[in-house]
Amino acid sequence: MSRDLKNQFSVAQSLAPAAAAAAADGAAVDLANYRSAMVVIDAGTATGTTPSFTFEVQESDTTTPGDFTPVADADLDGTEPVITTANDAAVYEIGYRGRKRYLRVTIEAATGTTPVLPCSALVLRGGPRVSPK
């Protein structure tokens, strides 16, 4: 077994890089065959007048959009960010301790006048039952 980091985890995209200006749901990421997960939100520079963007980690046992619910705070290691001009241009890491099969990241709200935030969200899946090749 290789000891390099690449063989210890897998990366999946939930929110594709984009200039977010409104609420959006990320793609579902399958956690099957992994023992742990971490969400990484990469935020650029927020623009607009008093922009504010709320991110949420959601979980589900299915990929049906209506089945996703917010992850309980007890199942998160870290806090879902509310990004404004005071804390933009940063990377946020949130550990997941839940037991659901699917995760996704959403931008729940974008407030202010003409708010725009370049951002993306990745899910790092760790502890593979079978190492990636």
**pLDDT tens digits along 4-25:** 787 788 999 999 999 999 999 9
Instruction: For 54-89, write each residue's pLDDT tens digit.
Output: 999 999 999 999 999 999 999 999 999 999 999 999
Distance (Å) of CA 111 to CA 91, 104, 129, 133: 20, 21, 42, 43
Q: Is residue 92 part of a domain?
A: yes
Looking up residue 95, the CATH number of its domain turns out to be: 2.60.120.1110
Q: Is residue 21 part of a domain?
A: yes
Q: Is residue 30 part of a domain?
A: yes
pLDDT for position 131: 65
Q: Is residue 133 part of a domain?
A: no
Per-residue b or e along 96-125, where b marks 16 or more CB atoms closer than 10 Å to that residue's CB: beeebebbbbbbeebebeebbbbbbbbbbb
Q: Is residue 47 part of a domain?
A: yes
Number of domains in the chain: 1
Q: Is residue 49 part of a domain?
A: yes
Distance, in Å, from the CA atom of 100 to the CA atom of 60, rounded to the nearest integer, reads 6
Q: Is the pLDDT of residue 102 over 70?
A: yes
Q: Is residue 79 part of a domain?
A: yes
Per the structure, the complete domain to which residue 68 belongs is given by: 5-128
